[in-house]
Homo-oligomer: A and B are copies of this chain.
Amino acid sequence: MQDGIGVTDRPDIGPAEDKVSGSREKGLNRVLEIFEFLHTTQRAIGIGDLAKGVNAPRSTTYTLVRSLVDAGLLEMAGDGNRVYFGKKLYLYGMDYVRGNDLLRRGRQEVDDLSRQTGETSELCMLQSGRYTIVHSSPGTRPFRISSATGLQIPLPWTASGRLLLAGLERADIEDMVSEEDLVLPDGRRLKLDDFIGDIATARSTGYCVTSGLVDAYTKCLAAPVFSAPGKVEATMCLVVPIDTSREKTDELLVLLRQRAARLSIAA
């Protein structure tokens, strides 16, 4: 509890220091925060800790959690007094998949590509302005490059990010990318202009390869999935060891681009 670790407790990089904590919050917003919190912790949590975690009053948290549990969006987990996501969210999620050709077929293509190549493969999309891994299939390598589904990563850190922003105006891109997004995990800092240049390149070549961006050991190959001419709706990507040979990389790129193109047609 109470790991002082994060200076954090700044829930969102909002405009200005909103009216000091302590102000009354809309119930729905609290719920949204609860969901995000559970999504990041990825485990069941006690209601008291949850209240601390989302910085909400205990009494409020109890009432909200009760509503959500009654509705089936949350469930009391195993031993008794912990909560986590509930069946209803799973059902709604399946509804989303069913209603979404791209995702349904994309998951399939990703699974197939991963089996075909043995490499980790992922389907990525923009999720409220951020890069999100929507589905991933682990591949067969002894060392797994694990990146959790639903993880959100700054756009400039990834090959997919460069493709997802293709076709946007410079201003839009600037809006989407914050200063800190340009700082890589190892401390290096990208120049915004370089990033925008990358985007333009990716757009014209129809794919993007980045090496050692998120970590020093991997290379990322990405190809765009179009929902309409010029509109990049998603990307498929492969995560491979950084020392993968030129030939092997090109070979993988062909397979990747084939599948990404196949996904594009109907959507």
Q: Which A residues have a C-beta under 8 Å from some C-beta of B? A: 26-29, 31-32, 35, 38-39, 42-44, 64, 67, 70-73, 77, 84-99, 103, 125, 127-128, 132, 134, 149-150
Contact = CB atoms under 8 A, between A and B. Distances in A.
User: Interface majority SS on A: helix, strand, loop or mixed?
Assistant: helix
A132 B87 contact: yes
Contact of A95 (B29, B42, B125): B42
16 contacts: A29-B67, A32-B67, A35-B88, A39-B91, A39-B95, A44-B99, A70-B128, A85-B99, A88-B127, A89-B92, A91-B132, A91-B134, A91-B149, A92-B93, A93-B96, A94-B149
How many copies the complex holds: the figure is: 2
A116 B150 CA distance: 33
Contact of A99 (B71, B84, B92, B128): B84
B43 A90 contact: no
A27 to B, nearest CB: 5
Nearest to A42: B95
